[in-house]
């Protein structure tokens, strides 16, 4: 509304000057236009308002045959001086705001990097790599989360997405990851690990008195476990399914029974009590990702074709190289900045002789 005020003033001046009411002095109103634009519209808006004010002044002076009066030229001078001052002031304010916003964003990303650390390159029976890309959304911290740890039960991974951004989303990320990093080493049942993370989010909502931590900012999550056997076990709570690349073809690991996001267990009954198991043999490649990948759009509003892109990446690439090529393909697809954060974990199943000894964690 405030941004439209200079243009409303221009219409009001024209209504006065082009009617019998033109005896009202409108010079101060036109002078105020660039000043108001400097406050609400920035440098470009200030120039636009100044040009409009001068145009209206010329129109009214011509209509009223006032070019022989000193008042017309005084109005022009006043509009010019206020426009120059407004442009300089608004440019300085905008520059300072950009600098402050960039500083806040750097701090936010640094805080996010502390919570979302890169996964180790080797974890038991797999080689691994991770990638986290922040969307260009001012200083807002995203809500994507991921982790991979080696336990006595195998390699355990989690990817998730807290709906929303900012400190509330980052708080939920910290709670979920903290719960996972602790319980993953002690609980044998992967479903119980997921339930523990959900319970941690519920506790946080109660302690903080903020139900948005669980409900309005709900968290989708997926856990995967790679034991010594050639399988991968998955618990999916409303998250995009992981993809397995096997002999050049991609297969989604779709859940048999879709489950709600964390904290919303009361919405369904009879949820599966055990993880779902899928083949994952040496040479297979498993990708866990957040919806920022598959929902990235091109200029024609088309979604990113993740399975097709995965199949086109040359065989023999290492996990970091594979994720780097996915990153480049994503940039080419969007032809601009990302609109949502992206997180991915890629693991390659190794041959038996390449498996490093498992870490024994004492209870």
What pLDDT was estimated at residue 269? 60
What pLDDT was estimated at residue 80? 85
SS3 339: coil
Provide the CATH number for the domain formed by 116-354 in this structure: 3.60.40.10
Q: Measured between alpha carbons, how far is 67 from 73 in angstroms, rounded to an integer? A: 8
Does residue 282 contact residue 349 with C-beta atoms inside 8 Å? yes
Q: Measured between alpha carbons, how far is 249 from 238 in angstroms, rounded to an integer? A: 24
For residue 226, what are the contacts with CB-CB under 8 A and spacing of at least 6?
124, 125, 126, 154, 155, 157, 232, 233, 280, 286, 347, 349
User: In terms of C-beta density within 10 A (0-12 exposed, 13-18 middle, 19 or more buried), how is residue 270 classed?
Assistant: exposed
What are the start-end ranges of the H helices in 19-69?
27-40, 42-63
Does residue 358 contact residue 124 with C-beta atoms inside 8 Å? yes
Q: Where are the domains of the chain?
A: 2-106, 116-354
For residue 134, what are the contacts with CB-CB under 8 A and spacing of at least 6?
109, 112, 142, 338, 341
Tokens 């073809």 appear where? 249
What pLDDT was estimated at residue 58? 83
What pLDDT was estimated at residue 288? 97
pTM for the model: 0.69
What pLDDT was estimated at residue 307? 96
Encoding tokens for residue 171? 């708080």
Tokens 């996972």 appear where? 180
Q: Tens digit of pLDDT per residue, the chain (363 long)?
A: 667 777 777 777 777 767 776 666 666 777 878 887 887 788 888 888 888 888 888 887 787 766 777 777 787 888 888 888 888 888 887 888 777 667 666 655 665 666 678 899 999 899 999 998 877 555 456 678 999 999 999 999 999 998 777 667 778 888 899 999 999 999 999 999 999 999 888 888 777 666 555 545 578 999 999 999 999 999 999 999 999 999 999 999 999 888 888 877 766 665 556 899 999 999 999 999 999 999 999 999 999 999 999 999 998 899 999 999 999 999 999 988 888 888 999 999 998 644 444 433 333
Does residue 176 contact residue 262 with C-beta atoms inside 8 Å? yes
For residue 3, what are the contacts with CB-CB under 8 A and spacing of at least 6?
40, 41, 45
What pLDDT was estimated at residue 106? 65
What pLDDT was estimated at residue 141? 62
Q: What is the DSSP letter of 185?
A: T
What pLDDT was estimated at residue 361? 35
SS3 146: strand
Give Rg (Cα) of the chain.
30
């Amino acid at each position: 509304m405030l941004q439209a005020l200079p243009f409303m003033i221009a219409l009001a001046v024209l209504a006065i000057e082009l009617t019998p009411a033109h005896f009202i002095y409108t010079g101060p109103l036109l002078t105020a236009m660039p000043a108001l634009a400097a406050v609400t519209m920035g440098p470009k808006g200030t120039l636009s308002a100044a040009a409009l004010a001068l145009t209206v002044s010329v129109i009214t002076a011509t209509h009223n045959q006032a070019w022989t009066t000193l008042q017309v030229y005084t109005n022009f001078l006043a509009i010019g001086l206020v426009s120059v001052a407004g442009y300089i002031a608004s440019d300085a304010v905008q520059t300072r705001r950009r600098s402050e916003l960039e500083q806040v964003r750097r701090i936010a990303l640094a805080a996010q990097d502390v919570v979302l650390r890169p996964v180790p390159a080797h974890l038991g029976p797999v080689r691994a790599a991770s990638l986290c890309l922040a969307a260009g959304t001012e200083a807002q911290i995203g809500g994507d989360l991921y982790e991979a740890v080696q336990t006595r039960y195998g390699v355990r991974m989690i990817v998730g997405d807290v709906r929303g951004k900012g400190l509330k989303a980052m708080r939920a990320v910290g709670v979920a990851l903290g719960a996972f990093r602790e319980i993953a080493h002690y609980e044998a049942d992967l479903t119980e690990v997921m339930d523990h993370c959900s319970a941690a989010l519920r506790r946080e909502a109660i302690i903080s008195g903020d139900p948005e931590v669980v409900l309005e900012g709900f968290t989708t999550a997926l856990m995967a476990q790679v034991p010594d056997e050639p399988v991968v076990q998955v618990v999916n709570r409303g998250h995009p399914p992981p993809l397995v690349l096997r002999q050049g073809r991609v297969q989604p690991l779709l859940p048999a029974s879709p489950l709600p996001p964390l904290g919303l267990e009361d919405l369904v009954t009879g949820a599966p009590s055990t993880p779902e198991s899928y083949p994952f043999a040496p040479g297979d490649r498993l990708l866990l990702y957040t919806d920022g990948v598959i929902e990235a759009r091109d200029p024609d509003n088309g979604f990113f074709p993740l399975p097709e892109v995965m199949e086109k990446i040359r065989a023999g690439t290492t996990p970091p190289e594979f994720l780097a090529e996915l990153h480049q393909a994503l940039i080419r697809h969007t032809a601009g900045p990302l609109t949502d954060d992206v997180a991915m974990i890629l693991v390659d199943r190794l041959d038996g002789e390449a498996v490093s000894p498992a870490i024994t964690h004492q209870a």
